[in-house]
Amino acid sequence: MAEPRDTVVLAYSGGLDTSCILVWLKEQGYTVIAFLANIGQKEDFDAARKKALALGAEKVYIQDVCREFVEEFIWPAVQANALYEDRYLLGTALARPCIARRLVLVAKEQGARYIAHGATGKGNDQVRFELSCYALCPSIKVIAPWRMPEFYQRFPGRRELMEYAQKHGIPVPVTPKAPWSMDENLMHISYEAGILENPKNRAPLDLYTKTCDPTTSPDIPDELEIEFEKGVPVKVTNTKNGVTHRSALELFMYLNDIAGKHGVGRIDIVENRFVGMKSRGIYETPAGTILYHAHLDIEAFTMDREVRKIKQGLSLKFSELVYNGFWYSPECEFLQHCIARSQEAVAGTVRVSVFKGQVYVLGRESPHSLYNEELVR
Amino acid sequence: MAEPRDTVVLAYSGGLDTSCILVWLKEQGYTVIAFLANIGQKEDFDAARKKALALGAEKVYIQDVCREFVEEFIWPAVQANALYEDRYLLGTALARPCIARRLVLVAKEQGARYIAHGATGKGNDQVRFELSCYALCPSIKVIAPWRMPEFYQRFPGRRELMEYAQKHGIPVPVTPKAPWSMDENLMHISYEAGILENPKNRAPLDLYTKTCDPTTSPDIPDELEIEFEKGVPVKVTNTKNGVTHRSALELFMYLNDIAGKHGVGRIDIVENRFVGMKSRGIYETPAGTILYHAHLDIEAFTMDREVRKIKQGLSLKFSELVYNGFWYSPECEFLQHCIARSQEAVAGTVRVSVFKGQVYVLGRESPHSLYNEELVR
Amino acid sequence: MAEPRDTVVLAYSGGLDTSCILVWLKEQGYTVIAFLANIGQKEDFDAARKKALALGAEKVYIQDVCREFVEEFIWPAVQANALYEDRYLLGTALARPCIARRLVLVAKEQGARYIAHGATGKGNDQVRFELSCYALCPSIKVIAPWRMPEFYQRFPGRRELMEYAQKHGIPVPVTPKAPWSMDENLMHISYEAGILENPKNRAPLDLYTKTCDPTTSPDIPDELEIEFEKGVPVKVTNTKNGVTHRSALELFMYLNDIAGKHGVGRIDIVENRFVGMKSRGIYETPAGTILYHAHLDIEAFTMDREVRKIKQGLSLKFSELVYNGFWYSPECEFLQHCIARSQEAVAGTVRVSVFKGQVYVLGRESPHSLYNEELVR
Amino acid sequence: MAEPRDTVVLAYSGGLDTSCILVWLKEQGYTVIAFLANIGQKEDFDAARKKALALGAEKVYIQDVCREFVEEFIWPAVQANALYEDRYLLGTALARPCIARRLVLVAKEQGARYIAHGATGKGNDQVRFELSCYALCPSIKVIAPWRMPEFYQRFPGRRELMEYAQKHGIPVPVTPKAPWSMDENLMHISYEAGILENPKNRAPLDLYTKTCDPTTSPDIPDELEIEFEKGVPVKVTNTKNGVTHRSALELFMYLNDIAGKHGVGRIDIVENRFVGMKSRGIYETPAGTILYHAHLDIEAFTMDREVRKIKQGLSLKFSELVYNGFWYSPECEFLQHCIARSQEAVAGTVRVSVFKGQVYVLGRESPHSLYNEELVR
């Protein structure tokens, strides 16, 4: 039981779980402030606000973090060609420290000593979330109900949650729950658990939400020119219709559109979670996949070979740290600095074709190219 | 000028360059033995034999090395997930030590003190070739005409070669030379130089020879089950028609067929050559691309996370060494041993879909899986 | 409270702490089997046996593990040139898995479901101990009283332990406790905590027990010839008096004598513990220090440069894993295998001088040397 | 034969070899400018100047580079804890790029198109020298007489050089040549070749010139406090007599004195040269050895563990590059930048004792220590 006036900032999603947690935290005596980051997920934010207030939240903060997510989290990953275990572009892992930073900010502004989240005790996200919060505010205390016996023993299954919801006036979803869990943001969406848990089972065709099925995607490729400076994209042009975007957020969203339309960015993998177990995940990362290929190309074109080898080792480590939630660690900051240094002359334009789930590099040019056509001849 | 009876084994391709070199070596006083490896390239081997004899070769050896190429060179690369600079599957680099080994064997059997090749002085292949030959037979002497002033000053351009050919009865190709150079084997084909030298220029659509154009490839995917033992494929089954292959060479050729039919394995990259310059290459590696994805998947599924991290570092180094021609070095043998050790429990079956230039992993199962469905739940 | 007949095997040291733990475990209802490894520490093993029985131990096992400690734990570290954070030769870290293996064996033989130890909650040894036990016997349960509130709250200080001892007839040490803690085995002794905690404080001159003070050690060096095969010492000869030892244990003990006599092997460092904090330790590792220098020399003399670079990276990782208690992990076994492979031709004789705290390499020779005197000239 | 007025800047040492080279270059038609760096070696610079002029040098430049050697070359190595193959502190390797930079500067100022040096064709120094010159001035041409047949065939042995010297009025050394070769600078001296070539032979006792024999060095230790900021020493105090030095050059020279007096810094190793062969060298690095130990200690005390692991990998690579002469390469500059970044909080004071060839760390303190005495307790 909390002290009478203890305040907790809850990472609220609007869904059943965190709604129940909100009510449960109030039951425990906490004053609850709901925080919901708009990080690009499909969500009715107004409805979520109303719902949280109706459930007794003292205040509700809904903050759009899309731009900072792209500029401060996705861009460093693009510079690093960050890839966990050779395949995963780290879509969820990059979002956690972005959200946590705002959450800690709200807690500090509101004088709250507690932060709560709805992540489970077997996943990566609890780790990422909590390492970020503690790094940014060592005095904060994190409440993780799904790791507390008094909570998880009370709610052993979805049925108990539903009952609790009905009893406390928590709106219950009318559509049946998908037989897997999802996590979405501007960069990616993940599907795991449920019927996907058996790694042998093929993912259902109707699972995907961010990309079209390549078997029915357009029969004509789109071609893009992506311009980089210091290793980050600064301009995207569709060479067929001349559409151009220059701001980080807009060009990233446009790449999401184009990649999604052509079914680019789907993977089905088994990965090693931080907590030690292997886990099967299906991911869509449309814009991230295009940028991975385009950045790799411009980097190889403009970077000294030996610098690149060293940078490759640093990026491997960076990817591991990001996956494991160490974004705000001294070592991750050190690596981010070193990697950024390596990108100073990574500039130029890559032309790519996007088609049927695939990104093809067609050519590249750069003011800083180390390529010497005379020499090759 | 050679001693009267000095014998040289020439790595003969049947083309204009090595035909001229054959005649030129005879002019220098050498007895020339032509050696031609059948490593899966499209070639009229009978015609090549007759041509070499007609040009004055003392003997001609044409040896089929396809099976050993797959089993002893490609398989270790599959185990390593070998990738140079994040993209190149090392198709040419793997073939060189396979060919060189046979060449040295022929030289030893024939008591030849010299080996000659037609690789140029700016490329990787001279290095790969010569490092292999010297490692296998330190007493051999390599003759590289394209690095000898008396040769390259005599043949500054193609015109001079043609004139020399006509003068010496060397058959001149009737079809015009492709405006780029190619190197082909069972695993891959490379295109570079000529009009491809400008890295901005898009590759012509009719350049590709091992894979179909994804825009016109079949609209229905093929699905394959690929079974691995100790990290190498031991069985491939087409789940639609039940076609199955079990031997290394046959299953590799079948994967080439399927991948080629669906346009899988094309890349356009700029890479760092051993000799220091950056070079643009366009590659097709059909079967290799499928196996890269399938092996990555079964490895992630069955290997301990921490072992895999260490193995990943070893593979990076292995790929670099292979690219640079150090196959027969102590360090490469050490790495190959360590990587093989890591593969002992890499076994199981991966199901993939092959479609429109893309390989999708659909699911996997393994007797040695470290995946624990109970634990994930 | 334990089930009536639950048996626990206690890692017993004969000291105050584990004596109290022994009695306390009995109070909790356990049947206690005391296990004490003779791993080269100075200890009255007979007295320890009598004491444990007097305190109510059901059985007492005292096992001499010195030979296996040298051959199976120290030798792999010598092959690796294992060094944690550039300085620590891992003396304690190597002993833990050696002891734990025997402890688990006793537990299995005796059908005990529990193992208990007296390591604290801030140190490395709890981790090394428990990771080893769980790796070797996943079903075992470890009892760590110093991490259990019911124990550490009862014994907040040494006074409470003493009172408890007196009350339960536990013999209380008559000599005052040293103002630091020690851990000793055949390879090394560590001193930490107490007055040493302040990293600025110089260690007292009378602290050291395994090595003489270099300021008063002999004024005449000893010279040794150390012969290696496969990277491990197989023969040590004192060139002044011809004394020779060939067995692993005997030669290691002889090196301890010589190094100890000349004050070799003292270090004063601050290191990073597994649990995250920095800690100051003073160590003596006499024989280990000689072997580190001698092995480094014979390895550099006989190993291919590029293999050595790769091996150096593997050894760094190996040292980290050993320090952190992962001896029985898949990755540590993988590394040990790879490192051993690199040692196959590491053979020859190194001559060293031992004098005033220092080991000087004087020369070396090897049947497998890659050194070519002709070439150097 | 050079064009009539071609000018060459010769890296002149004042010794027999480069004196003969000076005269020989003039014979070839070059105008010769002699350049001699005072980098801390024992040398009669005035005599060297006169000799060069007498031999026909157009100009003689003698420049004191000691301060920049310490600040710009040794300090980065101290920050890196740079060690080649676990033992060599890189004394010669660090001096070469320092000298080469000045040499190139002189060549540019004098409009010379050529630089010449007296390094042999089997050593590292030719490589270090030439890589530095070409990196700093790609248009320069290096003349390496010992690699030119017209030179080395004319001077197959020392006798021919002596004859040439006598014939051309080159002063011939009156003392017999030491039966080994030496290279000295402020940081170290190396001895190799001659009777040292056999790696089994013990070095003669009278070989050493920078350090006393530990068997006869003082029986009383000196104690020093070395203060670091950003990973470099900024103050050295002898705690016994209060002598203090603060400037880089002075404190380094003082450390040389103290270490030399106590016989600190001698090693006898076999190392792998860049050109591939193994070579035996005996080195003295007095101040460098003290700083290696002191910096290691303050770094371990103040740096985050995980940052340090990454930095350790970067330093390994840095040491290799420096050894191999790549100081001015993009990768070395990248590493130097990253390593410097890691040193920002490496500050504090280390107390060491220097005695009988050994450096003992006695204690340390720091304003930025990550050490937490409370936590350890």
- CB neighbours of A138 closer than 8 A, spacing ≥ 6? none
CB contact (8 A) between residue C341 and residue B334: yes
Confirm whether A310 is domain-assigned: no
pLDDT at A276: 84
Query: A199 and A171 share a domain?
Result: no
Cβ contact B296:B231 at 8 Å: no
Selection from B227, B213, B269, B198 nearest residue B368 by Cα: B227
Among candidate residues B177, B209, B240, the one where a domain is terminated: B177
pLDDT at C199: 95
CB contact (8 A) between residue D310 and residue A329: no
Handedness of CA C64, C65, C66, C67 (dihedral sign): positive
Q: Are strands B244-245 and B232-238 parallel, antiparallel or unpaired?
A: antiparallel
CB contact (8 A) between residue C355 and residue D357: yes
User: Number of B:C CB contacts under 8 A?
Assistant: 46
pLDDT at B375: 58
Selection from B361, B329, B38 nearest residue B228 by Cα: B361
Chain D residues with CB-CB distance to A307 below 8 A: 330-331, 334
For residues B115 and B7, give the distance between their C-alpha atoms in angstroms, rounded to a whole number: 9
Neighbouring C-alpha atoms within 13 Å toward the C-beta of A336: 17
CB contact (8 A) between residue C301 and residue D214: no
* Whole-complex ipTM: 0.94
- Reported as a pLDDT band with limits 50, 70 and 90, residue C101 is very high
Cβ contact C276:C285 at 8 Å: no
For residues C54 and C166, give the distance between their C-alpha atoms in angstroms, rounded to a whole number: 14
CB contact (8 A) between residue C85 and residue D300: yes
Query: B157 and B231 share a domain?
Result: no
pLDDT at C276: 84
Among candidate residues B128, B157, B177, the one where a domain is terminated: B177
- With touching defined as 3 or more inter-chain CB pairs under 8 Å, the answer for chains B and A is yes
**From the CA atom positions of chain B, what is the Rg in Å?**
22
The reply to whether B46 belongs to the active site is no
Chain D residues with CB-CB distance to A329 below 8 A: 304, 306
Residues in chain B: 377
CB-nearest to B215 from A278, A301, A355 is: A355
Backbone angles phi, psi at B320, to 5 degrees: -60, -45
pLDDT at B121: 86
Query: A62 and A125 share a domain?
Result: yes
**CATH at D222:** 3.90.1260.10
Q: Residue type at A137?
A: C
- Of the two residues B303 and D376, the one the predictor is more confident about is B303
For the residues C137-164, what does the mean pLDDT come to? 92
Confirm whether A221 is domain-assigned: yes
Per-residue pLDDT tens digits for A281-306: 999 999 999 999 999 999 999 999 99
Mean per-residue pLDDT of chain D: 94
Selection from C115, C160, C148 nearest residue C134 by Cα: C115
Angle subtended by helix axes D305-323 and D330-342, to nearest 10:
150
Per-residue pLDDT tens digits for C243-293: 999 999 999 999 999 999 999 999 999 999 988 889 999 999 999 999 999
Bridge partner list, C359: C354
**CATH at C166:** 3.40.50.620
CB contact (8 A) between residue C199 and residue D377: no
Strands (E), chain C: 7-11, 31-38, 59-64, 114-116, 141-143, 181-184, 189-192, 222-229, 232-238, 244-245, 266-272, 278-284, 348-355, 358-365
Q: Residue type at C211?
A: T
Confirm whether B321 is domain-assigned: no
Percent of chain A exceeding pLDDT 70 equals 97
Chain B residues with CB-CB distance to C309 below 8 A: 331
pLDDT at C159: 87
Does the pLDDT value for residue C317 go beyond 80?
yes
- Reported as a pLDDT band with limits 50, 70 and 90, residue A231 is very high
Chain C: residue whose CA lies nearest to D313: C313
Query: C168 and C186 share a domain?
Result: no
Per-residue pLDDT tens digits for C160-211: 998 999 999 998 877 777 889 999 999 999 999 999 999 999 999 999 999 9
The reply to whether B342 belongs to the active site is no
Closest Cα of chain A to B50: distance in Å? 32
> Helix and strand tally (H, E) in chain A?
13, 14
Query: C161 and C296 share a domain?
Result: no
pLDDT at B176: 77
Query: A76 and A224 share a domain?
Result: no
- With touching defined as 3 or more inter-chain CB pairs under 8 Å, the answer for chains A and C is no
The reply to whether B125 belongs to the active site is yes
Residue of B224, B268, B290, B365 to mutate, interface with A, max A Cβ within 10 Å: B268
pLDDT at D371: 72
Strands (E), chain A: 7-11, 31-38, 59-64, 114-116, 141-143, 181-184, 189-192, 222-229, 232-238, 244-245, 266-272, 278-284, 348-355, 358-365
Mean per-residue pLDDT of chain A: 94
CB contact (8 A) between residue A199 and residue B320: no
Percent of chain C exceeding pLDDT 90 equals 88
pLDDT at D375: 57
Q: Are strands A222-229 and A348-355 parallel, antiparallel or unpaired?
A: antiparallel
Chain D: residue whose CA lies nearest to A303: D330
Weakly modelled stretches of chain B, pLDDT under 50: none
Confirm whether D210 is domain-assigned: yes
Query: How far lies B75's CA from each of A41, B79, D216, in Å?
Result: 43, 6, 62
Confirm whether C2 is domain-assigned: no
Selection from C30, C59, C21, C82 nearest residue C319 by Cα: C82
Query: B187 and B144 share a domain?
Result: no
Chain C: residue whose CA lies nearest to B321: C306
Does the pLDDT value for residue D1 go beyond 70?
no
Per-residue pLDDT tens digits for A163-207: 999 999 998 877 777 889 999 999 999 999 999 999 999 999 999
Cβ contact A300:B85 at 8 Å: yes
CB contact (8 A) between residue D215 and residue C355: yes
For residues B132 and A156, give the distance between their C-alpha atoms in angstroms, rounded to a whole number: 64
Residue D264: domain span: 182-303+345-365
- With touching defined as 3 or more inter-chain CB pairs under 8 Å, the answer for chains B and D is no
Q: Which of A264-268, D15-19, D128-132 has the highest mean pLDDT?
A: A264-268
For residues B347 and D282, give the distance between their C-alpha atoms in angstroms, rounded to a whole number: 52
Among candidate residues B177, B202, B232, the one where a domain is terminated: B177
Handedness of CA A342, A347, A351, A352 (dihedral sign): positive
pLDDT at C375: 57
pLDDT at A157: 85
Query: C234 and C146 share a domain?
Result: no
Query: C34 and C97 share a domain?
Result: yes
The reply to whether B222 belongs to the active site is no
Query: C72 and C172 share a domain?
Result: yes
Give the H or E element holding residue D373.
Answer: helix D373-376
Residues of C annotated as part of the active site: 17, 96, 125, 181
Chain C: residue whose CA lies nearest to D216: C219
pLDDT at B122: 86
Give the H or E element holding residue D95.
Answer: helix D91-110
CB-nearest to A370 from B81, B269, B278 is: B278
Backbone angles phi, psi at C173, to 5 degrees: -55, 135
Cβ contact C83:C269 at 8 Å: no
Number of domains in chain A: 2
pLDDT at A174: 73
Query: B121 and B242 share a domain?
Result: no
- Reported as a pLDDT band with limits 50, 70 and 90, residue A368 is confident
Selection from C216, C231, C295, C288 nearest residue C259 by Cα: C288
Confirm whether B110 is domain-assigned: yes
pLDDT at B175: 76
Selection from D304, D261, D315 nearest residue D84 by Cα: D315
Q: Which entry of B19, B49, B101, B125 is annotated as an active-site residue?
A: B125
For residue A369, give both structure tokens.
């190219």
Please name the chains neighbouring A, where neighbouring means 3+ C-beta pairs under 8 angstroms. Answer: B, D
- Reported as a pLDDT band with limits 50, 70 and 90, residue D339 is very high
CB-nearest to B362 from A122, A268, A356 is: A268
pLDDT at B275: 83
pLDDT at C173: 77
Chain B residues with CB-CB distance to A313 below 8 A: 313, 316
Per-residue pLDDT tens digits for D262-298: 999 999 999 999 888 899 999 999 999 999 999 999 9
Per-residue pLDDT tens digits for C16-44: 999 999 999 999 999 999 999 999 999 99
Per-residue pLDDT tens digits for A101-154: 999 999 999 999 999 999 988 889 999 999 999 999 999 999 999 999 999 999
pLDDT at A1: 54
Confirm whether C299 is domain-assigned: yes
Does the pLDDT value for residue D18 go beyond 90?
yes
CA B314 to chain centroid: 21
Query: A187 and A171 share a domain?
Result: no
Confirm whether D71 is domain-assigned: yes
Percent of chain D exceeding pLDDT 90 equals 88
